[in-house]
Each structure stands twice: as C-alpha cells, then as structure tokens.
C-alpha cells in the first residue's frame, strides 16, 4: 500500500476509491474495501481509500475527544493489511469543511486524486453540512466524469441485547467497549481490541497483597479505554506474550479516590518491567469492579479471578 499525503509530490494513477475515517478498520470497513478492490480489478484500475490522519471533528474543535478505536499509526497498519493500492491521506481543514459535495468531488476526488469510480458506503455522507445524499452524488459524478456506485450492505449475525442483527459500525463498537463487552466488540472488529502503552510506577499495593501489577500509561490519550472492571488479557512485550489479569478502575477497596488506573497482573511472571512498551489485548471481561469490606476479601476474590482468567485464556489459545 502506498501512502500519499497532501504534501506528497506523487500523483496517484486513475483509481476506484471510497471515503471514510475508517476508525477501527472493522469488518464493515473491510467488506467495503473488498468491494473497492473487486471493482478496481474489473476496471483495470488502482484501488484507493481517501481518509484523514486526524478526526475531522477534532480539527474543527480542539477540545473534542474522539475516543479512537485505533490510533493513526494503528489504522494505517490495519489498512495496509487489506491489500488496497493507495491510502490517500487528506488533511481535513476548515477550507475542506466548507466545500460542497460537488466541489469536494471535483477539486479533491477528480482533480487531485484521479478518482474514476467512487464507491459509497450504505450510510456515508460528505460535503458541507452533509446535506446531500447518494442520488446527488450520482448526478454530480455524471457531470464531472466520476461513476458513483452504491456499496452492497454488510450483513452479519451479531445480535446485540437480543435484538436483530445490527450493522457493524465504529459507534456500535465504542458502545460495546463502554459496556465491557470486549468479546462481542472483537467479533465486530475482526480482531481483539488492544491498548498500547508504557509501564509506569504505581502505588505498589498489588505487590504487598501478592498480586504485583504493571501500571499502563496509554500512548494516545484519544484511545478509548473500555469500561471499568476485571478482564482476561494477553500481555505482549519483548516479542513474547503472557497471560494477564487486568483491572481498570479506581480500586475502591483501597480508597484510591477518583484516580482511574489500568493495572495488569501478569500471571506467573515476577520481573520488573518499568518503562517497557507493552500491548494489552482484551479477550473477555470477567466481572465489574467491586468494593469489598476488607483487603482479605479482595485477596480471596483475586485468587478466583486469576483462576478464571487462566481458564478463559487457555480456552482462547486452543481456538
């Protein structure tokens, strides 16, 4: 995959493209991208994705916190795995935001990126105020030489809260992660959700009660942190992967106050890993964070949590 930035002197070859932020590069995105690749192959053209390095809403409002499923670097790495030819990185600016859909199609897609065919997702809108829809895009495309194609809808067997199957979207995945449903989120993403960061010094309470933890400082402050609770996770660093019991929350039993922490007990591991870069990969939430009447009750629960974590991760490893 070739990445072409706004400042790049390289001009892409004529292409079939689609547009989106592609946060998470989830199964719905991959289904859309596969259609772009198939149309491009049939037309003898390159396949391309037009996306943005920074969330458009954050450009317009510096205080906006997007709760990203993937950082910009993670998104690029996942997009590269789709086998698309071009990733066209468009800097979303106030000037870009003021373009109408037809102006955007003409000035950006046609003239800058040489888009010949534009594949539109089932619910995607672009242009100033997003006031226009698919039929408008078709009409504008006919006038400037871009064929606009509606993508096939993505169907799946994921059921949420006993409701009918729902379309996979980044907003749905964020909702699932906020609920702690990391296993269902993984089915929507097509991979298990993960956090990257550096191990920093903590309160060392876990060490005193027999469950030493590594305290994670997440690299990107815009990355979404799942709901408070205890999780079975994989912990990866220095090229090796270990089983981990993760707690996200304020540790109410030890009166931690409002400080939310991300702490992982790496099972059967006893070395210090301060300043190490690690990845936490979420497998399943085992329980919410609870307040216990005593430290002894907490220790008893932690032993149960560790046993359950091992059972879950051994089962996941066999799949």
Residues 45 and 118 occupy one common structural domain: yes
CATH code: domain of residue 226: 2.40.30.30
The more confidently predicted of residues 289 and 318 is 289
Residue 280 lies in a domain: yes
Percentage of residues in the chain with pLDDT exceeding 70?
A: 92
Assigned token pair, 117? 């065919």
248, 227 contact by CB (below 8 A): yes
CATH number of residue 18's parent domain: 3.40.50.620
Q: How far is CA 205 from CA 208, 209, 210, 215, in A?
A: 5, 7, 9, 11
Same structural domain, 123 and 203 = no
pLDDT category of residue 130 using cuts at 50, 70 and 90: confident
Q: Are residues 97 and 226 in the same domain?
A: no
Domain assignment present for 275: yes
Q: Is residue 251 part of a domain?
A: yes
Q: Which of 271, 287, 273 is nearest to 232 (CA)?
A: 287
**pLDDT bucket at 257, cuts 50 / 70 / 90:** low
Mean pLDDT of the chain: 90
Residue 76 has pLDDT above 90, yes or no: yes
| Calpha distance 265→263 (Å, rounded) | 7
Q: Give residue-wise pLDDT tens across range 163-191.
A: 566 788 999 999 999 999 999 999 999 99
Comparing C-alpha atoms, which of 95, 143, 150 is closest to residue 120? 150
Per-residue model confidence (pLDDT) at position 124: 80
* Residue at 314 is within a domain: yes
Q: Where are the beta strands (DSSP E) in the chain?
A: 2-5, 15-19, 46-51, 86-89, 115-120, 147-150, 194-200, 214-218, 229-237, 240-249, 261-266, 277-287
Same domain, 129 and 200: no
Residues 25, 140, single domain; the answer is: yes
- Give the mean pLDDT of 261-273: 92
Query: pTM value?
Result: 0.91
Distance, CA of 222 to chain centre? 11
- Does pLDDT of 121 surpass 90? no
* Among candidate residues 246, 273, 244, 242, the one with its CA nearest the CA of residue 262: 246
Residues 126 and 49 in one domain: yes
- Lowest pLDDT segment from 131-135, 140-144, 194-198: 131-135
Structure tokens at 132: 């226009």
The answer as to whether 184 is a domain residue is no
Domain hosting residue 288, numbered range: 192-318
Q: Which residue has the tokens 């660093």?
A: 237
- In the chain, the number of structural domains is 2
Q: Can you give 138-192 as a three-state secondary structure string?
A: HHHHHHHCCEEEECCCCCCCCECCCCCECCCCHHHHHHHHHCCCHHHHHHHHCCC
Residues 134 and 225 occupy one common structural domain = no
At 212 the three-state DSSP class reads: coil
Distances (CA, A) of 273 to 211, 236, 309: 15, 12, 21
In terms of domains, do 128 and 205 share one? no
What is the chain's length? Answer: 319
Residues 103 and 214 in one domain: no
Is residue 232 situated within a structural domain? yes
pLDDT for the residue 218: 95
Where is the domain boundary, 93, 123, 150? 150
Residues 134 and 263 in one domain: no
Residue 270 within any structural domain of the chain: yes
Residue 130 and residue 15 in one domain: yes
230 within some domain: yes
Residues 17 and 138 both lie in one domain: yes
């Amino acid at each position: 995959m070739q990445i072409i930035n706004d400042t790049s002197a390289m001009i892409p070859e004529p292409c079939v493209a689609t547009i989106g932020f592609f946060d998470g590069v989830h199964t719905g995105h991959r289904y859309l991208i596969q259609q772009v690749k198939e149309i491009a192959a049939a037309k003898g053209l390159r396949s391309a994705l037009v996306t943005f390095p920074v969330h458009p809403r954050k450009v317009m409002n510096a205080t906006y916190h997007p709760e990203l499923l993937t950082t910009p670097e993670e998104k690029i790495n996942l997009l590269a795995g789709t086998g698309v030819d071009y990733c066209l990185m468009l800097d979303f600016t106030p000037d870009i935001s003021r373009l109408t859909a037809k102006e955007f199609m003409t000035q950006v897609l046609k003239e800058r990126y040489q888009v010949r065919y534009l594949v539109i997702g089932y619910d995607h809108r672009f242009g100033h105020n997003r006031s226009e829809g698919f039929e408008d895009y078709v009409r504008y495309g006919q006038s400037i030489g871009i064929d606009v194609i509606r993508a096939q809808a993505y169907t799946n067997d994921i059921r949420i809260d006993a409701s009918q199957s729902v379309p996979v979207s980044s907003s749905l995945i964020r909702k699932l992660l906020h609920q702690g449903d990391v296993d269902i989120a993984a089915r929507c993403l097509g991979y298990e959700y993960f956090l990257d960061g550096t191990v920093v010094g903590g309160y060392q309470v876990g060490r005193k009660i027999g469950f030493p933890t590594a305290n994670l400082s997440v690299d990107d402050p815009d990355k979404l942190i799942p709901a408070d609770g205890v999780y079975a996770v994989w912990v990866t660093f220095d090229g090796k992967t270990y089983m981990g019991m993760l707690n996200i929350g304020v540790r109410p039993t030890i009166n931690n106050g409002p400080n939310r922490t991300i702490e992982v007990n790496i099972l059967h591991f006893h070395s210090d890993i301060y300043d190490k870069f690690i990845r936490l990969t979420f497998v399943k939430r085992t329980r919410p964070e609870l307040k216990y009447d005593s430290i002894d009750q907490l220790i008893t629960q932690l032993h149960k949590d560790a046993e359950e974590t091992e059972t879950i991760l051994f089962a996941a490893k066999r799949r």
